[in-house]
Amino acid sequence: MALAILIMAAGKGTRMNSDLPKVLHPANGKPVIEYVLDTAGKLHPDKTVLIVGHQAELVVEATRNYPVIPVLQEPQLGTGHAVMQAEPPLHSFFGEVLVLSGDAPLVRSRTLEQLIAFHLSEKASATVLTAELDDPSGYGRIIRDRLSGDVLRIVEHKDASPEERLVHETNSGIYVFNSKVLFEALGELRADNAQQEYYLTDVFGICFGKGEKVSAWLVENADETRGINTPEQLREAEELLKIPK
């Protein structure tokens, strides 16, 4: 199986109250992005693309010892737009594309291996890693068919109906796509929303519309999907990172 990994590392991290790029904040003395890169490396990808934006030079310099291809997202027009920037270095790549968040250092390589294996066994065009959260407020929800368990759609919290907001299965922001399906769908994305941004989650809607198979794999330990957006979340992640895997 051919595997490419895209790591989203362009964000500013406004709520960190620091000019330092979010992914360079240290967790137990080690930049957050290094945890993600170390985990990615254990999967032995054919290519790893690092999507940079805010203070890109700092992020590129901090990761120069890793075998990554940095690409610049400028301006930053959403998650879908970020992945569009990876198309040139992957133009001749055919296989599966794993999308990771540079600010989510807790996910384990074993979990990602299981996610990819599930994606392949389902013959899915797109698969999302999900988590059951006690308080899912603010997270996108995974809406499944009650009988078959198949994924029907992914709905953002703000767009969810009262009934859909009762769902506790959430979108982690970690995905596996068939490369051909992904880049064809990216070409169909539209920024016709309040933020005027291109959302990667809209790729799932395009897949649904074409009758492509979309799957979701529920992680056993929801802590693995935690991202870091605030100093408090960074401290929580530091404690979790000290626990032997």
Buried b or exposed e, range 58-84, using 16+ CB within 10 angstroms: ebeebbeebebebbebeebbbbbbbbb
SS3 state of residue 203: helix
Q: Which of 58, 49, 171, 204 lies closest to 104 in space, CA to CA?
A: 171
Helix, strand, coil tally for the chain in percent (to 5):
35, 25, 45
- Of 15, 110, 165, 190, catalytic: 15
Which pairs count as long-range contacts for 185-188, CB under 8 Å and 24+ apart, including other chains? 186/80, 186/83, 186/84, 186/87
Catalytic residue status for 15: yes
The two structure tokens encoding residue 225: 């999907």
Dist. CA 215–CA 178, nearest whole Å = 12
- Residues serving a catalytic function are 15
